[in-house]
Structure 1
Amino acid sequence: MTRRIFIDADACPVKAEAERVATRHGVKMVLVSNGGIRPSQNPLVESVFVAAGPDEADKWIADACGPGDVVVTGDIPLAAKCVAAGARVVKHNGEELTAANVGMALATRDLMADLRSADPFRQGGGKMFSKADRSRFLDVLDRVLR
Structure 2
Amino acid sequence: MSDPVQPITVYVDADACPVKAEIYKVAERHRVKVFVVSNAFLQVPPSPLIERVVVSSGFDAADDWIAERARRGAIVITADIPLAHRCVTAGADVIGPTGKPFTEASIGMALATRNLMEDLRAMGDVTGGPKPFSPKDRSAFLSALDVAINRLKRAGFASGAP
TM range (shorter): over 0.9
Structure 1 residue 2: Cα displacement: 1.3
**Would you say the 8 A contact 2:13–2:77 is kept in 1?**
yes
In structure 1, the partner of 2:20 is 15
Q: Matched residue of 2:53: which SS?
A: strand
> Where does 1:32-111 land on structure 2 (aligned, <5 Å)?
32-111=37-116
1:115 aligns with 2:127: no
In structure 2, the partner of 1:126 is 130
Distance 1:36 1:68 in 2: 27
Kindly provide the amino acid, as one letter, of the partner of residue 113 in structure 1: E
Distance 2:46 2:129 in 1: 38
Structure 1 residue 128: Cα displacement: 0.3
**Would you say the 8 A contact 2:117–2:126 is kept in 1?**
no
Structure 1 residue 98: Cα displacement: 0.3
The 1:48–1:125 alpha-carbon spacing in structure 2 relative to 1, beyond 3 Å, is closer
1:27 aligns with 2:32: yes
In structure 2, the partner of 1:140 is 144
**Would you say the 8 A contact 2:72–2:91 is kept in 1?**
yes
Structure 1 residue 125: Cα displacement: 4.6
Runs of 4+, deviation exceeding 3 Å: none
**Would you say the 8 A contact 2:41–2:54 is kept in 1?**
no
| Percent identical residues | 50
In structure 1, the partner of 2:155 is none
Structure 1 gaps, min length 5: none
Distance 1:31 1:124 in 2: 28
Relative CO higher for 1 or 2, CA cutoff 8 Å, sep ≥ 6?
2
Q: Matched residue of 2:132: which SS?
A: coil
Q: Matched residue of 2:88: which SS?
A: helix
Structure 2 gaps, min length 5: 1-5, 151-162
Kindly provide the amino acid, as one letter, of the partner of residue 66 in structure 1: R
RMSD over aligned Cα atoms: 1.0
**Would you say the 8 A contact 2:8–2:75 is kept in 1?**
yes
How many residue pairs were aligned?
Answer: 145
Kindly provide the amino acid, as one letter, of the partner of residue 126 in structure 1: P
Structure 1 residue 40: Cα displacement: 2.3
Kindly provide the amino acid, as one letter, of the partner of residue 105 in structure 1: A
